Chains A and B, each alone.
Chain A
Amino acid sequence: MRNTRWRALGALAAVAALTLSACGGGDSGDGDGGDSGSSATPEFNAALSEVYNPSDKKGGIIKAAHSSDWDTLDPGETYYGFSWNFARLYGRSLLMFKAAPGDASNELVPDLAEDLGEPSDGGKTWTYKIREGVKYEDGTEVTAADVKYAVLRSTDKKTFPNGPAYFEQFLDLPKGWESVYKTPDLDTDQAIETPDDYTIVFHLKQPFAGFDYLAQLTQTMPIPQDKDSGAEYRNEIVSTGPYKFQDLQPGKGFKLVRNDQWDQSTDPNRKALPDGWDVQLNVNADDIDQRLQTGDLQVDLAGTGVQPAAMSQVLSDPAKKANVDNPTIARLWYTSINPTVKPFDNIDCRKAVMYAMDHKSYQTAYGGEFAGGDLATTILPPQIPGYEKFDLFQAGETGDLDKAKQALADCGQPDGFETAMAFRSDRPKEEATAEAFQQALDRVGIKVELKGYPAATYFSENCGLPPFVVKNNLGLCTNGWGADWNDGFGFLSQIVDSRVIRETGGSSNTSVRIPEVDKMLDAAVLELDDAKREADWAEIDKRVMEEAVVYPGVYAKSVLVRGQDLTNVFVNDSFGMYDYMSMGVQ
Chain B
Amino acid sequence: MITYIIRRLVAAIVLLFVVSAITFSIFYLVPRLAGATPESLATRYVGRAADVETVELTAERLGFYDPIWVQYGNWAKGVVVGTTYDMGAQDVECPAPCLGYSFITRQAVFPELMDRAPVTFALAIGASILWLITGVSIGVLSALKRGSFFDRFAMIFALAGVSMPIFWTGLMALAFFSYKFNITAPGGSYTPFTQNPAAWAYDLLLPWITLSLLFSAQYARLTRAGMLETMNEDYVRTARAKGLVEKRVVVKHGLRGALTPIVTIFGLDFGLLIGGAVLTERVFSLNGLGNYAVQGIFANDLPKILGVTLLAAVFVVMANLIVDILYAVVDPRVRTR
Tell me whether A287 and B52 are in contact (CB under 8 A).
no
Of B6-14, B40-48, B236-244, the segment with at least 4 beta carbons within 8 Å of chain A is B40-48
Contact residues of B with A, CB < 8 Å?
31, 35-37, 39-41, 43-55, 57-58, 61, 86-90, 92, 104-107, 112, 152-153, 156-157, 159-160, 164, 171-172, 174-176, 179-180, 186-188, 282-285, 287, 291-292, 295, 298-300
Evaluate contact between A10 and B153: CB separation under 8 angstroms. yes
Q: A181's closest neighbor in chain B, by CB?
A: B89
Chain A interface SS verdict (over half): loop
Q: Which residue of B lies closest to A507 (CB)?
A: B48
The residue from A7, A161, A229, A250 contacting B50, defined by CB atoms under 8 A apart: A161
Least CB distance, B147 to chain A, in whole angstroms: 9
| Segment among A89-97, A120-128, A290-298, A378-386 that sits at the interface with chain B | A290-298
Asked if A505 meets B49 with Cβ closer than 8 Å, knowing A22-B172, A287-B187, the reply is no
Question: How many A-B residue contacts, CB cutoff 8 Å?
Answer: 196
Interface positions, chain A 93-136, Cβ under 8 Å from B, are: none
- CB proximity of B212 to chain A, nearest CB, Å: 17
Known A461-B31, A504-B37; contact A159-B89, beta-carbon cutoff 8 A = yes
- Contact A290–B179 (Cβ < 8 Å): yes
B47/A21 in contact, CB under 8 A: no
Could you pull out 5 A-B pairs where Cβ atoms are within 8 angstroms? A7-B159, A10-B160, A68-B298, A68-B299, A459-B48
Q: Give min CB distance, B73 to chain A, whole Å.
A: 24
What chain A residues lie within 8 Å of B51 (beta carbons)? 157, 165, 168
The CA-CA distance from A504 to B51 in the complex, in Å, is 10
In the assembled complex, the Cα of A181 lies from the Cα of B87 at a distance in Å of 11
User: Within 8 Å of chain B (Cβ to Cβ): is A162?
Assistant: yes
A586 to B327, CA, bound (A): 61
Residues A251 and B50 in contact, CB atoms below 8 Å apart: no
| Whole-angstrom CA separation of A300 from B298 in the bound complex | 19
Partner of B105, one of A27, A251, A506: A251
A467 to chain B: closest residue by CB: B35
A125 to B159, CA, bound (A): 73
Contact at A287–B283, with CB atoms within 8 Å?
A: yes
Q: Once the chains bind, are A296 and B285 in contact (CB under 8 Å)?
A: no
Tell me which residues from 161 to 186 in chain A have a Cβ below 8 Å from any Cβ of chain B.
161-166, 168, 179, 181-182
CB proximity of A158 to chain B, nearest CB, Å: 3
Distance in angstroms from A219 CB to nearest chain B CB is 12
Contact A159 B179, beta carbon cutoff 8 Å = no
Given the known interface contacts A24-B176, A69-B105, A280-B188, the answer about A459 and B43 at a Cβ–Cβ threshold of 8 Å is: yes
Q: How far is the CB of A525 from chain B (nearest CB, A)?
A: 16
Q: Are B40 and A230 in contact (CB under 8 A)?
A: no
Question: Given that A159-B87, A159-B88, A161-B54 are known contacts, is A69 also in contact with B295, CB under 8 Å in the complex?
Answer: yes
Query: Cβ of B180 and Cβ of A25 under 8 Å apart?
Result: yes
Q: Is A391 at the interface (CB under 8 A from chain B)?
A: no
Selected contact of B90 from candidates A181, A234, A283, A494, CB within 8 Å: A181
**Cβ of A29 < 8 Å from any Cβ of B?**
yes
Counting CB contacts under 8 A, is A502 at the interface?
A: yes
The interface on chain A, measured as residues whose beta carbon lies within 8 A of the other chain's beta carbons, has a size of 67
Write the A15-27 contact mask toward B (1 if CB under 8 angstroms, else 0). 0001001101111
Residues of A61-97 at the interface with B, using a CB-CB cut-off of 8 Å, are 65, 68-69, 72, 79
- Give residues in A with beta carbon < 8 Å to B: 3, 6-7, 10-11, 14, 18, 21-22, 24-27, 29, 65, 68-69, 72, 79, 156-166, 168, 179, 181-182, 228-232, 234, 250-252, 280, 282-284, 286-287, 290-291, 294, 296, 454, 456-457, 459-461, 465, 468, 494, 502, 504-506, 508
Given contacts A179-B89, A287-B285, A506-B43, 12 further A-B contacts (CB under 8 A): A7-B159, A26-B175, A158-B61, A161-B45, A161-B46, A162-B46, A163-B47, A282-B295, A283-B188, A284-B285, A290-B171, A460-B43
Q: Give Cα A157–Cα B54 distance, bound, in whole angstroms.
A: 6
Cβ–Cβ < 8 Å partners of A162 in chain B: 45-47, 50, 104
Q: Tell me the bound Cα distance from A465 to B41 in angstroms.
A: 12
> Which one of B51, B86, B106 has the highest number of Cβ atoms from chain A below 10 Å of its Cβ?
B106
CB of B115, distance to nearest CB on chain A (Å) = 9
Given known contacts A21-B175, A22-B172, A26-B175, is B89 in contact with A230 (CB within 8 Å)?
A: yes
For the complex, what is the distance from the CA of A460 to the CA of B34, rounded to whole Å?
Answer: 13
With A181-B88, A287-B187, A287-B188 known to touch, is A22 a contact of B175 (CB < 8 Å)?
A: yes
